[in-house]
Amino acid sequence: MNFGVYGIRKVWRQLHREAIPTARCTVERLIRRMGLRGVKRGKPIRTTVPDPNKASPADLVRRQFQPAQPNALWGSDFTYVATWQGF
């Protein structure tokens, strides 16, 4: 019972410990074919997903996104900004 934590690298190393010489690419192919996946470390990346049924809010600042030439107007989204205290 390994709770699905064995990824390609761990399986490949375990096979070598058990004296079963196997190429790493072969282990990758077989694991992919069996539909197995190792555990991903770290937090998942969260992004905003717009609701297609909801109307967009009105443009209260009357932005004009019509630059006269390329690279004359730049915009950015500060939805997620990493700081020392979080996002």
The 3-class SS string of 14-69 reads HHHHCCCCCCHHHHHHHHHHHCCCCCCCCCCCCCCCCCCCCCCCCCCCCCCCCCCC
In this prediction, residue 22 carries a pLDDT of 93
In this prediction, residue 58 carries a pLDDT of 82
- How many domains, the chain? 1
Domain-located, residue 67 = no
52-86 per-position pLDDT tens digit: 898 877 877 777 777 778 877 677 766 676 777 77
9-39 per-position pLDDT tens digit: 888 999 999 999 999 999 999 988 988 877 7
The number of C-alpha atoms within 13 Å of 62 and in the hemisphere containing its C-beta is 0
Domain-located, residue 58 = no
Task: Supply the range of the domain harboring residue 31.
Answer: 1-41
Domain-located, residue 73 = no
In this prediction, residue 3 carries a pLDDT of 59
pTM: 0.43
pLDDT band at 8 (very low <50, low <70, confident <90, very high): confident
